[in-house]
Structure formats: structure tokens, C-alpha cells
């Protein structure tokens, strides 16, 4: 026993030593800070987005939403056991996908628009074809041992999932089998974001860490710390060189992949509600963060200031999303409504 313990201690020590070296290497390249670099950027001023549409149709809390790549349709998932595909322009419901399990936590649209995926407490990711006459279940990806917190399509043949069993997984939809399992987190994985070139992705977990992964090799390339509680949401900055996280510690942070470290924290003394979701405007200048205090607050990503708020929901804002063409932002809430703003 003593020998085992000694071995463990030695390993732990080596780990800590390496981590200290990483921190030192990061410090070495840290020759500037965001707020001063952003000094030259023009002020954004007060951002006032108006409510343009309120989409009613769900009968229970909305947990997740995802825009289609055509920037016009959008899918939302609610605990009433349905996925609804909306035409956001007319406000019409295009497709209703009934779910076997009502405890859904995440939904995704494939870039082609043909497939949608959903999952939650059933530990499965169900992929359906919505272009058929009536929605047909294509695959039930069943291998996670924990709830499904997030899923994202790479194409009609591959999908990435994040789970409460602390792993992320890349699946082959043609065979329905796992291709690669990404293990390294020590807490439930809560969300993931795919890079535009689909070579890497980032994940946020309840161990308060964000990790960068190589999609092809299945390895963790880097770990980013700084948050003091669960990371609930994660999104890439549009130029692909950074990502933004939202956490239960009531703050959002931006991490830069090239300089390999945190560059700025978005937090405010008056905001003491956890962040549930983040999304960015097309230029990356504005961050829309949904909070537990029923609002979605808008941050200037470069200057680190709060520049606006979207209020109108009667309960927690559980998901936000900006479509690919950047026309506006959609917020979904536990009050069962989706609202479109710009």
C-alpha cells in the first residue's frame, strides 16, 4: 500500500510540476492585456435590441435551441417532449418531432438541414431525419453512461456529443458506433463547440475546466483553467482563434488558443446569477450571455464592458443562439418561449 501511495504521490508531483511549467510558458508570452489593446477600438455604447418575435408553442421549459445553417429555420427542445422546427421569419412551426424521453437537454441541426439530434437524461443521442414525410428516427446512439448535455453535427455522417459521464464522443452515423472517445475531464461535460475547420473542438465541464481537443487523434491538446464553478456554455470566437465560456460562477471568460491562455473575464458585481449560455455576433464584438436571472446580458467582447440587456423572459434564459448570417439573436427560456431580437 505504501509503495502504491508513494508512486501516486510521485506522479502527482510530476503533474503539478508540469502544470507550473505550462503556467510559466504562458506568462512568458503574456506581453499585453485585452483592455489596453482594445483602447483603440471604437466604443460600442449602449446596445438596445428590440424584441422582434416571440415564438409560442412549447408547453414546458425550453432547454436548448440551435439555428440551421440557412439562418432561417431553427430547432428548439422542450421538456414537453417535443422538438419543434420553426421558420423564424413567419413564425410557423415546420416540423414537430415527438421524443421518446421528455427529459431532453440538448438539440442540434445538421449543417445540411436534413438531420436533427437530441438527447438528455436518457443518456442517448437520437438522430432523426426531418426531411422525410414524417420525422424518422435514424439512429439511437447509446453508449454514454451519463446524461447527454450537448451534441453537434460535423456532417450527415458524424456527430460529436458531450455527456455527464465526463466524456465527449465522436460517432459514425453510418454505423451508429463510437469512433473516438475523448476522456480527460473529471467532471460532467456540459457543452462543446466545434471549430470551423472541424479539426478541433473545445469542451466545458463541471470541473471548471475548458479543454481543447484534436478531433482526429482524440487527444486533449490543452486545458484552460480560471473558472471557479461549472462551465455551462462554450462558443468559438468567429476567427477561430479564441473561445468564450460561461459559468455558474457568474462570469464569462475568453481564452485565446494561440497565446494559450485566458485573455479577459466578463463579470460585474451586480450580476450574481450563473451563466447558462453564450453566443457571439458575427464580428465577435458582442457576446450574448443568458443568465439565471431571467435576462440575457450583452457584453462588448473587446472592452469587457456590459453594453446591454435583453429582458422579457419570465424565467431562466437557458439557451441563446446567433444564426450564421448574424441577423439577430434568439433566446430560449424556461418560460417556454423563444424570443428573437435585433
Partner 1 sequence: MTINTMAKGGWHRDQMSCFRKMEKVIVAMQDPDMGMKMRNQRLLITIIPHAMTGRDIIDWLMKKSNICEEESLHISGLLVRYGYIYPLKEPRSLVLRPDESPYRFQTPYFWTSTRWPASELDYAIYLAKKNIRKQGELMEYEKERYSVLHKRINHTWDFVVMQAREQLRASKQRRKADRIVLECQEQAYWLINRPPPGARNVLDMGLERPNNTARVTLNSEHYKNEIDTCKRALGRNRVKSSICLEGFMKYSEQYQNHDPIMQGCLPSNPWISDDSAHWTMNLETVPTPTRLRVERWSFSFMELLNDEMGRREFMTYLEKEFSGENLAFWQACEDIKHGESSKIVEKVEEIYRNFLAPGAPRWVNIDSKTMDKTLSGIRHPHRFVMEDAQMHIYFLIKKDSYPRYLKSDLYKNMLAKGIVPQETKKSVFPFMRRQRHSSPSPAQVATQATEEGGNAKGAGQAGTNSAAGSNV
Scored b (16 or more CB within 10 A) or e, 2-38 reads eeeeeeeeeeeeeeeeeeeeeeeeeeeeeeeebeeee
Please, which residue, 134 or 302, has the CB nearer to partner 1? 302
The footprint of partner 1 on residues 238-297 (CB under 8 A) is 238-239, 241-242, 248-249, 256, 258-261, 263, 272-274, 281-286, 291-294
Burial class (CB in 10 A: 0-12, 13-18, 19+), 211: buried
CB of 130 to partner 1, least distance (A): 19
CB of 145 to partner 1, least distance (A): 9
The sheet that has 220-224: what strands, in order across it? Answer: 189-194, 200-205, 210-214, 220-224
* Contact yes or no for 104/64 (Cβ under 8 A): yes
How far is CA 228 from each of CA 187, 224, 246, 248, 300, rounded to the nearest angstrom? Answer: 13, 12, 11, 8, 22
The footprint of partner 1 on residues 163-182 (CB under 8 A) is 164-166, 172, 174-175
CB of 185 to partner 1, least distance (A): 8
CB of 222 to partner 1, least distance (A): 5
The footprint of partner 1 on residues 83-112 (CB under 8 A) is 88-92, 103, 105
Please, which residue, 66 or 339, has the CB nearer to partner 1? 339
* Contact yes or no for 163/147 (Cβ under 8 A): yes
Please state, in angstroms and rounded to a whole number, the distance separating the CA atoms of residues 142 and 83.
19
The footprint of partner 1 on residues 21-60 (CB under 8 A) is 21-22, 25-26, 28-34, 37-38, 40-56
Q: Which three cell numbers stand for residue 38?
A: 482594445
Please, which residue, 44 or 143, has the CB nearer to partner 1? 44
CB of 248 to partner 1, least distance (A): 5
The sheet that has 177-183: what strands, in order across it? Answer: 148-153, 158-163, 167-172, 177-183
How many positions of this chain bind partner 1 (CB under 8 A)?
122
Please, which residue, 21 or 134, has the CB nearer to partner 1? 21
Please, which residue, 65 or 248, has the CB nearer to partner 1? 248
Strands 104-109 and 92-98: unpaired
**String of contacts with partner 1 for each residue 107-146, x by CB under 8 A:** -------------xx------------------------x
The β-bridge partners of 178 are: 171
The footprint of partner 1 on residues 299-338 (CB under 8 A) is 301-302, 312, 314-316, 322, 325-329, 334
- Considering only 94, 131, 137, 157, the residue that binds partner 1 (CB under 8 A) is 157
Amino acid at each position: 500500500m505504501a509503495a502504491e501511495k508513494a508512486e501516486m504521490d510521485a506522479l502527482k508531483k510530476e503533474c503539478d510540476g508540469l502544470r507550473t511549467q505550462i503556467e510559466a510558458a504562458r506568462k512568458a508570452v503574456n506581453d499585453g492585456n485585452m483592455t489596453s489593446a482594445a483602447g483603440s477600438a471604437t466604443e460600442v455604447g449602449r446596445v438596445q435590441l428590440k424584441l422582434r418575435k416571440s415564438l409560442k408553442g412549447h408547453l414546458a421549459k425550453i432547454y436548448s435551441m440551435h439555428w440551421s445553417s440557412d439562418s432561417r429555420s431553427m430547432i428548439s427542445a422542450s421538456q414537453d417532449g417535443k422538438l419543434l422546427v420553426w421558420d423564424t421569419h413567419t413564425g410557423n412551426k415546420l416540423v414537430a418531432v415527438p421524443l421518446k424521453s421528455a427529459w431532453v437537454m440538448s438539440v442540434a441541426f445538421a449543417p445540411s438541414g436534413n438531420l436533427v439530434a437530441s438527447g438528455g437524461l436518457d443518456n442517448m443521442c437520437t438522430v432523426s431525419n426531418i426531411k422525410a414525410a414524417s420525422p424518422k428516427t435514424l439512429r439511437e446512439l447509446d453508449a454514454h453512461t451519463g446524461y447527454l448535455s450537448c451534441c453537434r453535427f460535423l456532417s450527415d455522417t458524424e456527430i460529436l456529443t458531450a455527456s455527464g459521464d465526463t466524456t465527449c464522443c465522436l460517432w459514425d452515423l453510418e454505423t451508429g458506433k463510437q469512433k473516438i472517445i475523448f476522456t480527460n475531464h473529471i467532471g460532467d461535460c456540459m457543452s462543446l463547440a466545434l471549430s470551423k475547420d472541424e479539426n478541433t473542438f473545445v469542451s466545458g465541464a463541471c470541473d471548471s475546466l475548458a479543454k481543447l481537443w484534436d478531433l482526429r487523434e482524440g487527444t486533449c491538446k490543452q486545458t484552460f483553467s480560471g473558472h471557479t464553478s461549472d462551465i455551462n456554455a462554450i462558443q468559438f470566437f468567429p476567427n477561430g482563434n479564441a473561445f468564450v465560456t460561461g459559468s455558474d460562477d457568474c462570469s464569462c471568460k475568453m481564452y485565446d488558443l494561440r497565446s494559450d491562455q485566458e485573455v479577459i473575464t466578463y463579470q460585474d458585481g451586480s450580476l450574481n446569477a450563473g451563466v447558462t449560455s453564450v453566443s457571439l455576433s458575427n464580428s465577435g464584438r458582442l457576446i450574448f450571455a443568458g443568465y439565471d436571472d431571467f435576462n440575457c446580458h450583452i457584453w462588448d467582447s473587446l472592452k469587457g464592458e456590459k453594453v446591454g440587456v435583453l429582458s422579457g423572459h419570465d424565467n431562466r434564459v437557458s439557451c441563446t443562439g446567433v444564426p450564421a448570417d448574424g441577423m439577430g439573436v434568439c433566446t430560449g427560456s424556461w418560460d417556454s418561449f423563444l424570443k428573437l431580437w435585433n
